[in-house]
Chain A
Amino acid sequence: MLFSTPQYALFLAMAVIAVRLAPRNRRSIVLLAISIVFYSLWLPVYLLLLGFDLAVNYLMLRRMVKSERPRAYLAVAVVFTLALLARFKYAGFAIETAMPLLTAVMDVPPEIPHLFLPLGISFYSFQIIALTVDTYRGDIKPIDSFWRYVLFISFFPQLIAGPILRGSHLLPQLMSGGHITRERSHRGMWLLVSGAAKKLILADFLLAPFVNDAYSVPGYGSAGYHLCTAFCFLFQVYYDFSGYVDMARGSALLLGFELPHNFLEPYLSRNPAEFWRRWHITLSDWLRDYVYIPLGGNRLGELRGYTNLTITMVLGGLWHGAAWPFVMWGGLHGIWLAIHRLAGGDTRTFDRPVVWADAPKVAATFVGMAFVQASFRSPSLAVALEFYGGFAKFDFFTGWPPVQTAIVVLCFLLHIAERWVRLHMPELRARARQGHLATLLEGALAGVLIGICWAVSGAGGEFIYFQF
């Protein structure tokens, strides 16, 4: 169920009422039931797969906790989870890639399986692995209730497209039954409204049609036209995914739970390293903690460090999708990060505030990101290469479509405004008037935004990150 649909609005309203009416010590049970219903409202049959995945992993987790050889159980759990992910997500890709070899070796080449990707499998698989590894490392107390384990993974606001949660973040909240306050409800409502606006107005209505048109004829038009398309796609994917995350966080807040930020204005980054601290933060952290550092990080020499970085980013690309453009995307990011580090680039800018003097660095990173992300949107490697061929015309100052250029400028201004609002939110909230007029204005603003969302939502499509 898409968060931007009327059916989700109905579902969420019923869920919020049910949770709020339930006694606090029973909220987990109510939430679990709601989450199961939520998942089954997509394809009921895949609920069995999710159940099987969780049952096996929980069993391994409990065995791991009690065993004297926990590493073996950890390995079984991780391999099992990845195998299931590979079966559904990567089997077709692997066979397709190996088809020339298989055709030469076998009399009858195997058929390419076209399986429907279980909703959220990439996200919940990573969450399962994170919980198991964290338990193994002793970072969190071992979970001792299967139903709480199921709820942790299947908690519906984050089930299908993250954020990828850690046990240390959500489990204590689940144990306490959440904390419903007026402030959280208020914030949740605004996150839902702003998330819907980002997704439906900016991503789907203003940006997606132009990007779709341009990508259907890659390489056609000037380099400037391609660059504008790439900028539009940068904002499309950002508003699409961050809109989803806002709605996920908003839904969770209305239920009394706080989910972490997943984006911190990524296009205001001053270098690629900072970008990954601001973009899809929970995935970046996951890749760092469970891939990059276990591979050795940068402790095993400089060359090995660069290799690990590239491997991690390629795996990150593959996580996004079983297709060569994603591998290319991950590889380009890895190489860019390695070059940045090799050139002695500053990797600690994240902790410093962005100031106007940083504008050239921000602009350079933004343009670089547009080049790298161009492959992310491509349905195939051939299309990606054709699109890059468009850049190779080098006439970057011609063919800028006026409306889309204006939309890119608008998106950038909104991006800056978003940062300002986030940083000044506590102050704004403290200064906000509490009178009836202020309440009326607040309600009217939310109503106008939702009205626009509703009017344009015929153009609404699936969230880009649902496919992962």
Chain B
Amino acid sequence: MSRLVRPLLLAVAFCVAAVATIATIYTGGKAVHPALPPLGIWSVVQMGFELAKVEADAFDDQKATVLMIGDSTVMAYPKGRTLYDQLQTVLDRQSLPVPAVQVYSVAAQGMTPGNFYLALDGIVRAKPDIVTIALNLGVIRSYLPPVLRRPELAGWMSARRLPRALVGLPLQHYGVTADQLLFHQLLVRTRQPRLWFVQRREQARVGHFRQYAEDYVAERTGLRTEPIARAARRNAVMRSETLPGDRNRFNERRADEFFGVSMRGLDENHFTMRVLEALLEELDAAGISVVMYVVPTNIDHLRDVGVYNEAGLSKTLSVFRAAADRYGAYFVDAHDLLSDAAFRDAFGHLFYDEPINGPQLLAERLAPDVARVLRRRRGER
């Protein structure tokens, strides 16, 4: 019995001290920095809410649902001016085979086909009539930077799809290794995701302490870093040209980093394509129609900086089209829909005010095809 006293004391002291430390840091963190930084998990929470709405509508025969998935090009606009709002407006004006069409979105910043492959079971369960997939030519890389990683989505993957996800797909490019996949599965299956979200949120808050420390010292001592790396980084990383309307554009190096793979011609075995095809295959098997579109790309600018490559781009588009054809998806090529003047920044976000309302123009381009798919789908029933 006495042999157990020491390990027990050690364990109790350890646990008490660890919990007290974590609680102190988190409480202090809230006092110092109440605002929350953007974090991938919010997209997961938001996604859950939106998918629940889609699922509720699935039982309404009088209503068709369109679910838009993609990155910030779908949602990074003020309320009422997002692409899904615009598509809703345009579809409402059209004559459709159902009394009502409701457009939803589970798009979020930096989301890729890999992220949506992980979240696929939630999408399938929600039973939308149509899923639109945004393909941004600027996010297809030879690698994906860590900021795009959202392995927590893997927690919602059904057991049926685990073997393929583990050994059949190159999900590692999205930062999802087998241990992460299984760990997040464990979290969800033990009903602990909320605890995990809270934990991650607090950790993200703590991550801002350093910045506060720098500012605190700078304010009180006058010893400010020369130059302030963060501000310099913001400027230098973008290294933008200043154009009327305060727009910015990538320089050649950054443009090549973002668009190089698409412009040189996407290989059909590229990890993005393999995962995209898996996504299309699953949606097709679930009987969900897909409209896959290439988001408007600033071709004028890419041409100016010498990154544009017509032959390579054609190859990329044909690879997309072939994948869509293979799985009965509808392919819309809107890459050259808009000129340079329509682009708000280098990431493909559009102006949403007159004289150019980019999301509206894109919605008008997409709406006939969405309507066509909807008619075909309702005609089949």
Contact = CB atoms under 8 A, between A and B. Distances in A.
Given A40-B178, A217-B233, A443-B14, A436 B226 contact: no
Contacts of A209: 210
A446 B14 contact: yes
A190 B141 CA distance: 41
Nearest to A224: B226
Given A220-B236, A451-B22, A458-B204, A401 B10 contact: no
B13 A42 contact: no
Interface string B161-178: 000001100101100011
A7 B207 CA distance: 21
B177 A41 contact: yes
A114 interface: yes
A205 interface: yes
B36 interface: no
Nearest to A460: B203
Contacts of B26: 455
Contacts of B178: 40-44
Contacts of A114: 142-143
Interface in A148-166: none
A6 interface: yes
A403 B18 contact: no
Contact of A216 (B6, B16, B237): B237
A402 interface: yes
Contacts of B203: 455-459
A454 B22 contact: yes
A45 B178 CA distance: 10
A107 interface: no
Interface in B157-196: 166-167, 170, 172-173, 177-180, 182-183
B214 interface: yes
B250 to A, nearest CB: 15
Interface string A427-468: 000000000100111111111101110111111010000000
B10 A221 contact: no
Interface string B100-113: 00000000000000
Contacts of B13: 439-444, 447
A213 B173 contact: no
A217 B233 CA distance: 6
Nearest to B204: A458
A293 interface: no
B22 A220 contact: no
Given A41-B179, A45-B167, A213-B230, A448 B210 contact: no
Contacts of A454: 18, 22
A131 interface: no
B15 interface: yes
A214 interface: yes
Contacts of B204: 458
Contacts of A222: 226
B210 A205 contact: yes
Contacts of B166: 44
B32 interface: no
A451 B170 contact: no
Interface in A369-421: 398-399, 401-404
B5 interface: yes
Contact of A403 (B6, B12, B20, B210): B210
Contacts of A217: 229, 232-233, 236-237
Interface in A263-297: none
Contacts of B22: 451, 454-455
Q: Is the interface on chain A under 10, 10 to 19, 20 to 34, or 35 or more residues?
A: 35 or more
Contacts of B237: 216-217
B254 to A, nearest CB: 12
Given A450-B18, A451-B20, A443 B10 contact: yes
Contacts of B9: 436, 439-440, 443
B177 A43 contact: yes
Interface string B13-56: 11111111110011000000000000000000000000000000
B201 to A, nearest CB: 9
Main secondary structure of the interface of A (DSSP, over half): helix
B200 interface: yes
B173, B213, B221: most-surrounded residue (chain A CB, <10 A): B213
Contacts of A452: 21, 25
A451 B180 contact: no
Contacts of B21: 447-448, 450-452, 455
B236 A216 contact: yes
A441 B143 CA distance: 47
A225 B17 CA distance: 38
B179 A1 contact: yes
B233 A399 contact: no
Contacts of A136: none
Contacts of B17: 443-448, 451
Nearest to A210: B229
B5, B173, B223: most-surrounded residue (chain A CB, <10 A): B223
A334 B47 CA distance: 54
Given A443-B13, A450-B18, A451-B20, A459 B229 contact: no
A111 interface: yes
A216 B26 CA distance: 30
B356 interface: no
Given A217-B232, A398-B226, A439 B6 contact: yes
B322 interface: no
B10, B146, B230: most-surrounded residue (chain A CB, <10 A): B10
B286 interface: no
B170 A116 contact: yes
A206 interface: yes
Contacts of B281: none
Interface string A206-230: 1001100110110011100100000
A220 B227 contact: yes
Interface in B218-236: 218, 221, 223, 225-227, 229-230, 232-233, 236
B300 interface: no
B229 A214 contact: yes
B208 to A, nearest CB: 10
Contacts of B225: 225, 399, 401-404
Interface string B51-77: 000000000000000000000000000
Contacts of A44: 166-167, 178
B28 to A, nearest CB: 10
Nearest to A189: B10
B231 to A, nearest CB: 10
B285 interface: no
Contacts of A220: 227, 229, 232, 236
A462 to B, nearest CB: 8
A37 to B, nearest CB: 10
Nearest to B29: A455
- Across the A-B interface, the 6 shortest Cβ-Cβ residue pairs: A458-B203, A451-B21, A447-B17, A443-B13, A401-B225, A213-B229
Given A41-B179, A403-B217, A451-B20, 18 more contacts: A7-B180, A10-B183, A42-B177, A43-B172, A114-B143, A206-B210, A209-B210, A216-B229, A216-B233, A225-B227, A401-B229, A402-B223, A442-B13, A447-B17, A447-B19, A451-B18, A456-B206, A458-B207
23 contacts: A41-B177, A42-B179, A43-B172, A116-B170, A116-B173, A205-B207, A209-B210, A210-B229, A225-B227, A403-B217, A436-B9, A439-B6, A440-B10, A443-B14, A443-B17, A444-B14, A447-B19, A448-B17, A451-B18, A451-B20, A452-B25, A455-B203, A456-B207
